[in-house]
Amino acid sequence: MFRVVLVLALAGVVNSLDSRTILQYLGDNAQFSTLLGLLRDTHLDLVLQAPGAVYTMFAPTNSAFANLDPGLLDYIKGDPRLLQRVLMGHVLDSPFISLDMKNEHTERTLDGDIVRFNIYDNGKIYTVGGAAIIHGDDVLKNGVIHTINDVILPAEGDILQQILVDDLEFEDLTAAMAALTLFAPTNAGFLKRFPTADSIPSDMNQVKELLQNHVVNGTYYKAGLKDGDVLTTLAGNTLAITRTGTSQVRVNGHLIDGDIFATNGIIHVMNDILDPNGN
């Protein structure tokens, strides 16, 4: 496949064809100094120099690391095995260019985790693990680099494991889905709507519809949601997306937080319930 990449580079399909290695490229670009330092700290720089090996790296910029919650970054740095896992989650063991990327396609990274690719806005936005690719297809001596604007964090199980809804007979709604987006209310969000146990509907069909109204078929990371988007829930209702600047995204007027990665989709946390009547 790497020969194909080289041909594409010569044809102008990829951005550059460079005699430098991945590590040399990172070292020559100041925006990757944090990444390079962490690779050296974990000795993964030695892995990337393995003779004959060809890799793809999704390289977070210094700004991407700076955008992480300081407490989270310190926690990751304080756990060598976790730090290594996070870094290896940015590397594939074969060349992978933008032409290989298909919406909802998944690949396994060096740490064995799954990373998901998504394409939004008619091909204008490409994401990997929820991070937008801001510059891609730099072909180097021993692989390919795509620059990304966020750090990819490991997925923690699948959505069914995360939302614990077996008792609500919700499993049949999601088991057959390849990729899902869940808008997950916090405990405080549930208490706003259901302050007491008696206020929870006794009709399980109503409960199921309420849960369905928080799930969308397909993976919609924050990076791929734009102002004016309309999503259809499993309940058949619509969710209106509004976006302010680059960070604040609202669903039906309710602010969503973060991207929690799952092997079969994405979870957005919110402090409200999405009512089937559109609220």
User: Nearest Cα to 75, choosing from 89, 85, 61, 64?
Assistant: 85
Residue 212, SS3?
helix
Can you tell me which residue has the tokens 């999405």?
A: 274
Inter-helix orientation angle 70-77/80-88, to 10°? 110
Intra-chain end-to-end CA distance of the chain, in Å: 50
In a domain, 277, yes or no: no
- 178 and 142 share one domain: no
In a domain, 14, yes or no: yes
Distance CA 200, CA 17 (A): 60
pLDDT for res 163: 46
- 84 and 22 share one domain: yes
pLDDT for res 29: 97
- 94 and 216 share one domain: no
Look at the chain and report how many structural domains it folds into. Answer: 2
In a domain, 275, yes or no: no
Q: Where are the alpha helices (DSSP H) in 103-181?
A: 159-163, 171-174
pLDDT values of the chain reduced to their tens digit, one per residue, 279 residues: 444 444 444 344 455 578 899 999 999 999 999 999 999 999 999 999 999 999 999 999 999 999 998 888 999 999 999 999 999 999 999 999 999 999 999 999 999 999 999 999 999 999 999 999 999 999 999 999 999 999 999 876 554 444 433 333 344 444 445 688 989 888 788 788 888 777 777 777 887 888 889 999 999 998 889 899 999 999 999 999 999 877 789 999 888 887 888 778 888 888 888 877 665
- 69 and 125 share one domain: yes
pLDDT for res 178: 62
- 67 and 124 share one domain: yes
- 141 and 164 share one domain: no
In a domain, 259, yes or no: yes
Task: Show which of 148, 183, 199 is a domain's final residue.
Answer: 148
Can you tell me which residue has the tokens 């799952």?
A: 262
- 15 and 83 share one domain: yes
Region of 16 on the Ramachandran plot (φ > 0 left; ψ -120 to 50 alpha; else beta): beta
State the DSSP H helix or E strand holding residue 127, giving kind and residue range, or none if neither: strand 125-128
- 260 and 170 share one domain: yes
Range of the domain at 207: 159-270
Looking only at the bridges linking them, the beta strands covering 265-270 and 254-262 are antiparallel
Distance CA 181, CA 213 (A): 11
Contact 233, 214 (CB under 8 A): yes
Contact 179, 215 (CB under 8 A): no
In a domain, 206, yes or no: yes
The pTM score is 0.77
Task: Show which of 148, 183, 216 is a domain's final residue.
Answer: 148
Distance CA 272, CA 191 (A): 9
Would you mind telling me the total number of residues written for the chain in this entry?
Answer: 279
Distance CA 193, CA 213 (A): 15
pLDDT for res 16: 56
- 140 and 25 share one domain: yes
In a domain, 82, yes or no: yes
- 64 and 168 share one domain: no
Domain holding 186: CATH number?
2.30.180.10
